[in-house]
Structure formats: C-alpha cells, structure tokens
Amino acid sequence: MTRLCRFNEDRLGIVEGDQVLDVTEALGVIPEVRWPYPVNDALIANLDAVLGQVERLRANARTYALAEIVLKSPVANPPKVIAAPVNYLKHQAEANADGGKNFDMDVKTIDYYGLFLKSGSSVVGVGEGVVMPFPDRRTDHEIELVVVIGKGGRNIPIDRAREHIAGYALGLDITLRGPEDRSLRKSCDSFSVIGPWLVTADEVSDPNALDLTLEVNGEPRQSANTRDLIFNVDKLIEYASTFYELMPGDVIFTGTPEGVGPILPGDKITCGVEGIAQATVMVR
Ligand code: MN
C-alpha cells in the first residue's frame, strides 16, 4: 500500500494522510546509466527496489505537510504519453453536439481513431498547474484515469494486462479546441497533468469501476465512472501493445467522460479519481 510522490526539487515522498515522508535516499538503488539512456522512466523501471528501500527509510524520514510542498508528476520521464480519444459514448454525443458542429466533424469513437500520443514536455504535476498558451481560444478540462506501465511488453494479452501496471494516477488531458490534430492541440506545455501521486497497483482492485469527478470554481462539471469506458484499462494495454512496445513509465490517459467544458486563467479545478486522490489544480 503505497502512495509515491515527487515533490519540490525532485524529492521522493510517501504520502500518509496529509503528511509526506521524505524517502529521497531510496533513489540510490537506481543504477547509474550512461548515454544512450534506456527508454524508460528510471523510478518506475526500478520501482520494486526503490520500494524496498522506502520500507527501511520511512521510520526516520523527515515529514512535510502536503499543503507546504509542490507536487510534480510522479512519473518524471514517461517514454510515451499515450491517450485514448473518445472512449466514453456520452462524451462522443456531447462532442458531436458541440465541437463536431463547429469544426464540421463527425466525431467517432476509439474503435475508429485508435490512440494518439501527447508530448512528453506537456507533463506537469498538480502543484505546477495549467498554463493556457492561447487564452482567447476555448481550452477544455478532461478528467481521466491514468495508468502507469510497470513491466513493458509487446502483444500483451488482455488477461495478462494487469501484470504490466505499476500503478495509477489522476490525469487532466487539457485540450485546446479546434481543427488541428489532437497530438498538437493536447501537447502544449502543462497540458498533461499527472498526479498528485502514484498509487501502486495493489491498492486498486478494479480500475474499471472508479468514480471520476471534476469541478471548476466549485461548479460540478464531470461525474462518471470508468465502468463506462469503451476500451477498458485491460483492453487499452492489449491494443496499444500491438502497435508499439510498452516501456516502464509509459502512461496511458484512458479517456474522458462527458461534461468537458472551458477553463480560463484564474480558475481552480478540483478533481478526483476514486481510490487515487482528490486534487486541486490552478489555471494560469
Ligand atoms: Mn482525453
């Protein structure tokens, strides 16, 4: 049962209630590597060894209040930021009622589009917040469950998908609306919020049955459950791994349910994924 966070200047922490135990010293077990670096996230690739050290360190760890630290993405260097387009039917319906009309699109679902990739440089933690590069263009929130790949692999069968999951996090797939390709509109700096921490896979018995919620300035916007995913977590892993090798630290944004809406600089997003966390993310 572990909630692992990255905070301040690349400190490693364990979250317990509203406290964070500083276990940065556990990173010492990560082997030194030289160029060319392996295509993975070093923390996730060595997660078991790091967690072993954490057990040794936690008793004497320095503690911080969660409120006094800045939370970064628990996965610092995801090799791939994979994302699922239109993976909830009710979101397809609202997209067609709204954006589809504006941009002359007939919005289909993940069965048709497959997956897309977001830039690695778009990844931030909840404490860093979202910066809108084009405040005059509509920019939307999308609450999503994020899956973090632990053990890599190709052609992973659906019934073995869970063996490849290191853990879960909450995600915001921030989206500039418009006619450009998804991979561009969703890849601006700070548009992939991941956090507030990594919940290890053993803590989540069924990722396909988690409530998702999101409010903007206290106004409810999104409220749904991952049981309505068109491609559920297991299917996403199977499907993705038929196209490319999954690597330790790859993250999968699993798609957003209905209720997406605009954000503006100054907004306060409060969001949650059941069993993972509640988080507050500021928009600038
Ligand atoms: Mn999305």
User: Which tens digit of pLDDT belongs to each residue from 113-141?
Assistant: 999 999 999 999 999 999 999 999 999 99
* pLDDT of res. 101: 56
The CA 83 to ligand 1 mean position distance, Å, reads 6
Q: Could you report the per-residue pLDDT of 42-87, keeping only the tens digit for each?
A: 999 999 999 999 999 999 999 999 999 999 999 999 999 999 999 9
The CA 256 to ligand 1 mean position distance, Å, reads 5
Alpha-helical segments (H) within the chain: 42-45, 47-57, 89-97, 99-102, 110-113, 182-185, 233-243
Say which residues have a Cβ less than 8 Å from residue 230's Cβ, sequence separation at least 6: 86, 87, 88, 89, 109, 110, 111, 255
Residues 210, 274 contacting (CB under 8 angstroms): yes
* pLDDT of res. 99: 60
* pLDDT of res. 37: 95
Residue 72 one-letter amino acid? K
Exposure string (b/e) for 142-174, b if CB count within 10 Å is 16 or more? Answer: bbbbbbbbbbbbeebeeeebbebbbbbbbbbbb
Total Cβ atoms within 10 A of residue 141: 26
- Reduced to 3 states, what is the DSSP secondary structure of residue 18? coil
Of 163, 120, 161, 169, give the one whose Cα is nearest residue 145: 169
Residue positions counted in the chain: 284
The CA 255 to ligand 1 mean position distance, Å, reads 4
Low-confidence ranges of the chain (pLDDT < 70): 1, 99-104
Of 142, 161, 145, 164, give the one whose Cα is nearest residue 261: 142
The CA 41 to ligand 1 mean position distance, Å, reads 22
Residue whose tokens read 């659906």: 158
* pLDDT of res. 100: 56
- Reduced to 3 states, what is the DSSP secondary structure of residue 112? helix
* pLDDT of res. 156: 98
Say which residues have a Cβ less than 8 Å from residue 56's Cβ, sequence separation at least 6: 26
The CA 85 to ligand 1 mean position distance, Å, reads 6
The CA 192 to ligand 1 mean position distance, Å, reads 10
The CA 200 to ligand 1 mean position distance, Å, reads 22
